[in-house]
Amino acid sequence: MIVKFQLHPLLISLSRIVSILLLLVLLGLLTRPIEAPAWKAVKAGQSEMNLEAFEGALGQGLIIGVLGGFRAILADFLWIRTNIIWERKDRAKLDSMVRLVTTLDPRPDFFWINGSRMIAYDVPNWRIREEGGYSDVSDERQQAIDLEQSAQAFDLIDQALNFHPNNAKLYLEKAQIYLNRLKDDANAAKWFLKASQQEDAPYFAGRIHAELLRKQGLDAEAYDFLKNLHIELPNIPSAQKGIILERILNLEKTLEIPPHERFMPSKEPLVN
Amino acid sequence: MNITDSFTRIRLIAGTTFLEAVRQKFFNSLLLISIALVASSTFFQQFDFGTGELKFITDFGFGALFFFGSILSITATTQLFFNEMENRTALTMLAKPVYKLEFLTGKFLGAHLLMLCFTLVITVVLSGILYWREMVLLERLGNELLSNGSLIRYGDVFLFGFLQWMKFGIIAAFVLFVASFSNTNLYTIVVSFFMLIICQLQYIARDTYSGMEAGWERILVLGLGLIFPNFQLFNIGDQLVFDVEKAPAVSTVFQITGYGAFYSIAFVLLAQVNFRRREI
């Protein structure tokens, strides 16, 4: 007598599902040799999106943007919303919106730079006013707020540098925050120097670096830097080589450089 | 089974499916909306911050292609499949010497041909708008930019369109796979949309958990990465059109194409595994 085992329909369905899943895993493994090198090449040229940022975007109902299409336009509309929040001085929302916009579209430096400006310059003012205004809040507290907000802005700029490692504007932004908000000449000088070393750096970055060195009493360093700068810069009006030469001459007087050791600029006439 | 006859049957089913699809109101209205949206990209440009005009229009066009293409691929394939079931034409067809695999392949090719039309129209419209704006820009900026040749690599616009079409192929194939075991139109559309989202976003989970220590969560994510195809692979719009240096290597394009073709075929075959057992 032959006994026929009949499986429960649920078990049959389950076994089908499992076998299909296993087939799909096998497919994934088979395509891995094609996918892995292609993905490596594609990923290198794509703006990254992490799980945290993605969760934030989902909360804003931006699934379409996150999926790949319309990321740029959604980021633009969100930036307009960020500005409305900025006008309302809602600092908690402002921070999350800036991060969301830069996550959605990290390509334009506009969002990073303006976002960091809002965080470093505007938010400290709001916080100080919230706590009673500039006359009532102690200098130490004001400084603490400035430091806190600047740290957040630096964090944002550091993230931006991951996407735009050679963008001089971002280095300049950090330098400006150190200089204008934190009154930290040493760090500002450091970041102006970094900005001046980028390919698209404006000519003034190097000049400001030298001025800040001079301000800190580092005249010899400023002198050496300006001499090199004068040699490196092209002879065009925007490079302002005349001003640099003037500063070199002033420093030579201050440092009492003997005449035979003084800087000799090239003979071609300066264009001012 | 004569292979030539089989190809003829597949061609006939694909042709009929395609004709039926282009006559659908849904296809025509979605195509019109997409064209209107791409054409209006210059209007939306006034909301743009920081990116160049041509880059914005390109992003916008690529976004429209991806978004509406995905919707069309899912809904059209579902409709084309279930129309045959509901009208009982599938029954008549399969009663003749037409194999179920031929039926599925024909349906897939018909839907894929429809997506080719959609992709071509959108890329041609996008290229036209880009050309118009490029001419306006060149006229405004004079000879300054002319010496560097064209600002846009139009071949890249079509290359992006081609890769998206390959992706739509996978979508159409997995829609057929879902439809092969599903009983309703709605169920197929909803499940397919969820699958699309997972496929599009699985790379985020993969990247996040790749650095994790070995554990069941890591295994789960690895499994997820293997089960669902990586659609982000087709999203190379950022590397195309403007920057020659950024452009992906030809080998990468071939790998992506191969990946798309492989998954499309595999999903059609998987659909056949389910459809074979299905009573119509």
User: Per residue in A19-77, pLDDT tens?
Assistant: 888 989 999 999 999 998 998 888 877 666 555 555 555 555 555 555 656 777 888 88
Q: What is the pLDDT of residue B255?
A: 93
- Report pLDDT digits (tens) over A116-170: 999 999 999 999 998 888 888 898 999 999 999 999 999 999 999 988 888 999 9
Nearest CA-CA distance, residue A109 and chain B, Å: 7
B residues 47-76 closer than 8 Å to A (CB): 47-51, 56, 59-60, 62-67
The per-residue DSSP string of A115-165 comes to: HHHIIIIIHHHHHHHHTT-TTTS-HHHHHHHHHHHHHHHHHHHHHHHHH-T
Q: Does B19 touch chain A (CB under 8 A)?
A: no
What residues of chain A lie within 8 A of the CB of B238, using their CB? 45-47, 107
Those residues with Cβ within 8 angstroms of residue B58's Cβ, 6 or more apart along the chain or in another chain: B126, B130, B152, B157, B237, B241, B242
Those residues with Cβ within 8 angstroms of residue B231's Cβ, 6 or more apart along the chain or in another chain: A68, B167, B170, B196, B199, B200
Tell me how crowded residue B87 is: count the other CB atoms within 10 A of its CB: 10
Q: Single out the residue of B11, B24, B32 nearest to residue B79, CA to CA.
A: B24
What residues of chain A lie within 8 A of the CB of B228, using their CB? 24
Residue A106 lies in a domain: no
Q: Do A28 and B197 touch (CB under 8 A)?
A: no
Q: Do A67 and B197 touch (CB under 8 A)?
A: yes
Instruction: Give residue A90's region: left, alpha or beta (phi > 0; psi -120 to 50).
Output: beta
Nearest to B259 among A38, A46, A108 (CB): A38
Total number of domains constituting chain A: 1
**pTM (predicted TM-score):** 0.78
A vs B: CB pairs below 8 A:
137
Q: What is the pLDDT of residue A133?
A: 86
| Contact in structure between A97 and A123 (CB atoms under 8 Å) | no
Domain enclosing residue B51, as ranges: 3-277
Q: Do B66 and A69 touch (CB under 8 A)?
A: yes
Q: Which residue of B has its CA nearest to A70?
A: B63
Residue A59 lies in a domain: no
Q: For chain A, what is the mean pLDDT?
A: 85
Total number of domains constituting chain B: 1
What residues of chain A lie within 8 A of the CB of B244, using their CB? none
Q: Cα A148 from chain centroid? A: 17
Q: Do A46 and B235 touch (CB under 8 A)?
A: yes
Q: What is the pLDDT of residue B154?
A: 85
pLDDT band at A9 (very low <50, low <70, confident <90, very high): confident
Residue A107 lies in a domain: no
What residues of chain A lie within 8 A of the CB of B207, using their CB? 48, 50
CA distances A267 to A103, A203, A257, A264, Å, are 51, 21, 21, 9
Q: What is the pLDDT of residue A267?
A: 62
Those residues with Cβ within 8 angstroms of residue A237's Cβ, 6 or more apart along the chain or in another chain: A271, A272
Is the pLDDT reported for residue A177 higher than 80? yes
Q: Do B226 and A24 touch (CB under 8 A)?
A: yes
Nearest to B235 among A30, A68, A79 (CB): A68
**Between B223 and A183, whose confidence is greater?**
A183
Q: Is the ipTM of this complex over 0.95?
A: no
A residues 34-53 closer than 8 Å to B (CB): 34-35, 37-39, 41-43, 45-51
Q: Does B270 touch chain A (CB under 8 A)?
A: yes
Those residues with Cβ within 8 angstroms of residue A80's Cβ, 6 or more apart along the chain or in another chain: B47
Q: What is the pLDDT of residue B86?
A: 83
Is the pLDDT reported for residue A192 higher than 90? yes
B residues 130-169 closer than 8 Å to A (CB): none
CA–CA separation, A127 and A121 (whole Å): 11
Domain enclosing residue A270, as ranges: 203-272
Q: Do B204 and A51 touch (CB under 8 A)?
A: yes
Q: Single out the residue of B271, B72, B263 nearest to residue B182, CA to CA.
A: B271
Q: Which residue of B has its CA nearest to A64?
A: B67
| Contact in structure between B57 and B133 (CB atoms under 8 Å) | yes
Which of B34, B57, B204 has the highest number of chain A CBs within 10 A, making it the mutation to test binding with A?
B204
| Residue-level pLDDT, tens digit, chain B, 280 residues | 578 888 898 999 999 999 999 988 888 888 898 888 888 877 777 777 767 778 888 888 888 898 899 999 999 999 999 988 888 887 787 777 888 889 999 999 999 999 999 999 999 999 998 888 888 888 777 666 555 667 778 888 899 999 999 999 999 999 999 999 888 999 999 999 999 988 988 887 777 776 666 777 778 888 888 899 999 888 887 777 776 667 788 888 999 999 999 999 999 999 998 888 777 6
| Contact in structure between B80 and A88 (CB atoms under 8 Å) | no
Q: Do A111 and B64 touch (CB under 8 A)?
A: no
Q: Which residue of A has its CA nearest to B177?
A: A20
